[in-house]
Amino acid sequence: MVFSELHWIPSTLAAIFIILLTFVKDKSKHKALSYATAFFSLIGLVGYISQGDFDLLSFDIHTIHALLGTSALMLSLYNFARRAFLKKRWSSQHCRIGHIAAVLSFATLLIGLMLLTGILSIEPRGLSAENQNLQVPASGTMPEVEAKEFLNTTLTPLSEQGNNAIQGTPHIDEKTYRLQVTGLVENELNLSYKELLMLPAYSEVAYMPCVEGWGFTAKWTGFRIIDLLDLARLASNATYVVLHSSDGYSTGLPLDYLRDKKVLMAYGINDLTLTPERGFPFQLVAVHKYGYKWAKWITSIEVVNKEVLGYWESKGYSDSADAGTFPFG
């Protein structure tokens, strides 16, 4: 499911219009509704394509949703083109195709609604419950040989992982990099990359669910952000942590969540050091949260006592960002 408003809003309208077409018998109203259906269908298709979500090979609920929607779209456009451009007369075939498109649209609409509201889970089947949030001690030095499996879980190869950025890929110099921890702390920190790698390291397998509908399973290696914050000695009124990235991106999470989930700041993925494209030097592993909480290229951390809306949250995305729930508002 692509959660982009440019996809799901016009696609929803198009699906509703396709269903309504089976009940509208007045030819002038039927024609007007057909034009509206074609318009919103194409806008929804553009919204889908713009997200780059083209994985129709893996058989899951998202693939079924996409195939049903595409089939309904093609049938509707076929009917529309035959009537609008080829001037074909109304026929029983036209009606049969329209009824099939309506059924497919209803199924697509129903699945989309369940995905948007979180009734249908987006967690991968391959990630067993006992392995979720299981962290094992690790080395701060990456083997630099890509792992294919970890904790009996098949990992997604880096070449098949999706990736997003708001301004392209920042390139950070390891030699000059410093991570600052400020705000409601007694001891502000300004640490180098090498100093951060000296913190106790852990590895875990976690699924990164993008709000656009795709995701991937990886082995993440890094230090617990709470260990870093403990070095800074948190103030008693600290409740929320804001992460800032080198490209101007920001997002935040409750302190209790970071502590309870033992959230990692990863510098390794599938036993490889993060590349610039993957978020070097650090990416947050915000388990069970949508990908916009998985901040990359982290350069500073600010501890505050209230919720602060980040880049996407200030544009209407949910600050809780719980994977599988409605991502807006």
221 plus 304 within the same structural domain: yes
Among 95, 117, 139, residue at a domain's last position:
117
- Three-class SS of 70-84: HHHHHHHHHHHHHHH
What is the pTM for the complete model shown? 0.74
Among 117, 139, 156, residue at a domain's last position:
117
d(CA 151, CA 265): 20
Is residue 267, in this structure, part of any structural domain at all?
yes
d(CA 164, CA 208): 12
- What backbone torsions phi and psi does residue 85 show, to the nearest 5 degrees? -110, -35
CB 301 within 8 A of CB 291: no
Angle, CA of 65, 68 and 73, to the nearest 5°: 120
178 plus 72 within the same structural domain: no
- What backbone torsions phi and psi does residue 86 show, to the nearest 5 degrees? -95, -5
180 plus 250 within the same structural domain: yes
Give me the tens of pLDDT residue by residue for the chain, a chain 329 residues long: 455 677 878 888 988 998 998 888 888 888 888 889 888 888 888 877 776 555 555 556 777 888 888 888 888 888 878 877 666 666 778 888 888 988 999 998 888 777 766 566 555 544 555 566 799 999 999 999 999 999 999 999 999 988 888 988 999 999 999 999 999 999 999 999 999 999 999 999 999 988 877 789 999 999 999 999 999 999 999 999 999 999 999 999 999 999 999 999 999 999 999 999 999 999 999 999 999 999 999 999 999 999 999 999 999 999 999 987 778 77
Is residue 264, in this structure, part of any structural domain at all?
yes
Among 89, 117, 145, residue at a domain's last position:
117
The pairing of strands 283-285 and 272-273 is unpaired
> Half-sphere exposure of residue 145, counting CA atoms within 13 Å on the CB side?
2
Count of structural domains within the chain: 2
- Please name the residues in contact with 214: beta carbons below 8 A apart, sequence gap of 6 or more: 53, 55, 62, 162
Is residue 321, in this structure, part of any structural domain at all?
no
Burial of 147-174, coded b for 16+ CB within 10 Å and e otherwise, reads: beebbebebbebeebbbeeeeeebebee
109 plus 25 within the same structural domain: yes
Is residue 124, in this structure, part of any structural domain at all?
no
CB 194 within 8 A of CB 244: no
The pairing of strands 298-304 and 178-183 is parallel
112 plus 194 within the same structural domain: no
Is residue 325, in this structure, part of any structural domain at all?
no
Is residue 89, in this structure, part of any structural domain at all?
yes
282 plus 139 within the same structural domain: yes
89 plus 191 within the same structural domain: no
Structure tokens at 252: 């935040």
- Reading phi first (left if > 0) and then psi (alpha if -120 to 50, else beta), residue 69 is in alpha
Alpha helices in the chain (DSSP H): 5-21, 27-50, 61-84, 92-117, 193-196, 225-232, 255-260
113 plus 141 within the same structural domain: no
170 plus 257 within the same structural domain: yes
Angstrom distances, CA of residue 48 to CA of 42, 55, 77, 117: 10, 12, 17, 19
Burial of 261-276, coded b for 16+ CB within 10 Å and e otherwise, reads: bbbbbbbbbbbbbbee
For residue 200, the domain's CATH number is: 3.90.420.10
Is residue 327, in this structure, part of any structural domain at all?
no
106 plus 188 within the same structural domain: no
Is residue 222, in this structure, part of any structural domain at all?
yes
140 plus 252 within the same structural domain: yes
Segments forming the whole domain that contains residue 40: 5-117
106 plus 137 within the same structural domain: no
